Amino acid sequence: MQPAATVLFQGDSITDAGRDRARPDDLGHGYAALAAAALPGTPTVLNRGIGGDRLTDLRARWDTDTLAHRPDLLSLLIGVNDTWRHHDSGLPSPADTWEDEYRELLHRLHAHCAPRLVLIEPFLVPVTAEQWTWREDLDPRIHAVRRLAAEHDALLLAADGLLNQAARAVGDPALIAADGVHPTPLGHRLLADAWLGLVTGAA
């Protein structure tokens, strides 16, 4: 990591993780802060995740909250709220259109600057029987992120499999994501360690 590099974490509440938005340098209390603390060198690390964001919300602030920072490394996690709002509010977000809009953001990014890119799969660790029905909507988004990572030569953090495997190992999905969506401290630690392994090349 170059000393003057800018690392930007972008996404929804999982990335936001309770950050103080009145303090531009606050990283919140989740995987972004944990990963930042272990990065080598002295990069500038920014967190611009916003709780509740769907992809359309991220698109609306892409210029000011992403492109304006000209990151050397961009980490992006988005998608579960598109599924959640589909199920609890009936808000439409067809997976094929979602993929096209995600792709457009990446094209705009690479036209503006050429950062190293980490794409994190949206994930769900079902804690209720009803949440298993969400997978029909979420799984195509996970596959879309995998395709986009391949298209854009990005590092891929396969978070859905990672966290669901961990849930099986500990014997209770709520120990990984209390509501199925938002990671516990253990869930955030698992994400941070996997992220660092990808970015730094650590085993």
Catalytic site residue from 29, 112, 152, 182? 182
What's the CA gap between 35 and 120, in Å, rounded?
14
Answer yes or no: are the C-beta atoms of 28 and 18 closer than 8 Å: yes
Q: Which of 51, 50, 73, 59 is nearest to 103 (CA)?
A: 59
Tokens read off for 144 = 């879309």
* Structural tokens at position 148: 């986009």
Phi, psi angle pair for 73, to nearest 5°: -140, 125
Given the residues 13, 69, 75, 160, select the one marked as catalytic: 13
Catalytic residue status for 179 = yes
Which two tokens mark 99?
Answer: 């993929």
Catalytic residue among 57, 65, 139, 179: 179
Q: Is 139 designated active site?
A: no
* Contact in structure between 12 and 78 (CB atoms under 8 Å): yes
State how far the Cα of 14 lies from the Cα of 183, in Å rounded to an integer: 7
Q: Which of 41, 115, 37, 39 is nearest to 75 (CA)?
A: 115
Q: Is 13 an active-site residue? A: yes
Q: Provide the annotated active-site residues.
A: 13, 179, 182
